């Protein structure tokens, strides 16, 4: 049955694209968007409004223009009307309006309503807040006694970066999607009446589904090798692999998601229905499993949902074995593997029972 499944898949040339090259394209797109390979410093363009010039505002304008993170649109202050026009047309990211009086007052930040909650707006607000604090200290002749420095500490190798974590997350996502979407051929076989003919033989549907799952495992091996090479040589990712841990996590994770795809095929009557159910599972886990950002940053009511999703533990297991070199004696690693085994076993058993209990007529 395994060899039959392999031959059927190899004869379908589209299977190579959807099984191997599509995950590569997907990973490259997300890595380009989210990775931190850019060497350019963050900069934002602003306009400065100083409608009531005075010596203090002139000094503040000069100091603000020298901040490396800000690019002032004009060498000279502009009117508020002109600044609002630039902000509305998104010619600049924001406009900073100086106080009207020399003795003090409020700085005003003008931003486009669409960008009100954006990262750039938050950065400008933080920079201006620190700038005003320093200006206040200078105004009273006080010298700052404290300062803040930033230093990151990794639980793995010191050379690790966000790209390494994103790469392992994308590998987990690609393998999971390959398993969930890969069993659509079973629905097509049912539509053509092939499942009906198979049910009329002594063939065991559980063994038939298992052979398809193991065949999909070969695609997952190609995926993890290809995606890892692309991540290392194109995006400069650093991998510190514990090969035994990786083999165990990969084996149970890939088989679990293949089993999930097998279960989805058992409850789907058409390929469109299968793809719809698989897409629901895929998008739910894509954004709730810590692929792009830590689970801890989610709303509290969503965290329990993330804790039961299999992709959460598959991504963490791959990160532990490919980034942190976690050994096989780790209890956290085996806890995640246990969750994957539960998902895989329940999905496979449920799918096999559904295929077995359906009447032969219903499988047509």
Token readout for 250 is 């990969």
Domain end residue (candidates: 87, 108, 139): 139
14: Cβ contacts below 8 Å, ≥ 6 apart = none
Say whether both 21 and 53 belong to one domain. no
Domain residues for the domain of 110 are 44-139
Say whether both 53 and 70 belong to one domain. yes
Give Cα 256 to chain centroid, integer Å.
Answer: 20
Sheet of 44-49, strands arranged across: 70-72, 44-49, 94-97, 108-110
Task: Please name the residue that has the structure tokens 């096989």.
Answer: 328
Q: Determine the pLDDT at residue 19.
A: 67
Q: Determine the pLDDT at residue 242.
A: 92
Q: Determine the pLDDT at residue 361.
A: 47
> Please, are residues 64 and 75 in contact by the beta-carbon 8 Å criterion?
no
Say whether both 25 and 51 belong to one domain. no
93 DSSP β-pair partners: none
Say whether both 21 and 59 belong to one domain. no
Say whether both 84 and 104 belong to one domain. yes
156 occurs within a structural domain: no
> What is the domain count for the chain?
2
**Spans of the chain, pLDDT less than 50:** 37-39, 359-361, 363-364
Say whether both 311 and 197 belong to one domain. yes
Task: Please name the residue that has the structure tokens 């690019």.
Answer: 71
Q: Determine the pLDDT at residue 18.
A: 67
325 occurs within a structural domain: yes
Rounded to a whole number, what is the largest CA-CA distance in the chain? 94
27: Cβ contacts below 8 Å, ≥ 6 apart = 167, 170, 171, 174, 227, 230, 231
149 occurs within a structural domain: no
147 occurs within a structural domain: no
Say whether both 62 and 205 belong to one domain. no
List the CATH number of the domain containing 67.
3.40.1710.10
User: Each residue of 187-202: pLDDT tens digit?
Assistant: 887 777 777 787 777 8
241 occurs within a structural domain: yes
Q: Which long-range contacts (CB under 8 A, 24 or more apart) does 84-90 make?
A: 84/110, 86/47, 87/47, 87/111, 87/112, 88/112, 90/115
Say whether both 166 and 221 belong to one domain. yes
323 occurs within a structural domain: yes
95 phi, psi to nearest 5 deg? -125, 140
144 occurs within a structural domain: no
Q: Determine the pLDDT at residue 260.
A: 93
Label the pairing between strands 94-97 and 44-49.
Answer: parallel
pTM over 0.85: no
């Amino acid at each position: 049955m395994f060899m039959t499944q392999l031959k059927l898949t190899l004869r379908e040339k589209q299977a190579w694209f959807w099984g191997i090259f599509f995950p590569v394209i997907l990973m490259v797109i997300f890595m380009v968007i989210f990775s931190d390979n850019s060497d350019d410093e963050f900069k934002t363009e602003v306009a400065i409004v100083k409608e009531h010039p005075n010596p203090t505002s002139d000094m503040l304008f000069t100091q603000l223009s020298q901040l490396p993170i800000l690019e002032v649109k004009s060498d000279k202050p502009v009117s508020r009307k002109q600044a609002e026009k630039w902000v509305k047309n998104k010619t600049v990211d924001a406009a900073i309006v100086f106080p009207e009086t020399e003795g003090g007052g409020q700085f005003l930040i003008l931003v486009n309503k669409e960008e009100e909650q954006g990262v750039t707006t938050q950065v400008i607000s933080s920079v201006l807040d620190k700038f005003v604090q320093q200006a206040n200290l200078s105004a009273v002749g006080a010298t700052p006694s404290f300062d803040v420095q930033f230093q990151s500490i990794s639980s793995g190798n010191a050379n690790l970066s966000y790209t390494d974590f994103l790469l392992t997350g994308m590998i987990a996502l690609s393998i999971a999607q390959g398993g969930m979407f890969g069993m659509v051929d079973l629905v097509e076989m049912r539509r053509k009446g092939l499942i009906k003919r198979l049910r009329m033989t002594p063939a065991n549907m559980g063994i038939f589904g298992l052979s398809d799952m193991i065949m999909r495992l070969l695609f997952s091996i190609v995926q993890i090798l290809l995606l890892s090479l692309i991540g290392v040589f194109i995006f400069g990712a650093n991998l510190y692999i514990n090969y035994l841990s990786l083999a165990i996590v990969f084996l149970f994770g890939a088989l679990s998601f293949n089993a999930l795809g097998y279960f989805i095929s058992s409850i789907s009557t058409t390929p469109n229905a299968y793809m719809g159910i698989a897409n629901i599972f895929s998008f739910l886990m894509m954004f709730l499993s810590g692929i792009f950002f830590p689970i801890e940053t989610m709303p509290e009511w969503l965290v329990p949902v993330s804790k039961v999703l299999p992709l959460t533990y598959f991504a963490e297991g791959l990160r532990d074995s490919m980034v942190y070199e976690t050994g096989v004696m780790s209890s956290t690693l085996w806890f995640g593997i246990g969750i994957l085994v539960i998902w895989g076993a329940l999905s496979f058993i449920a799918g096999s029972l559904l295929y077995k209990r359906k009447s032969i007529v219903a499988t047509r």
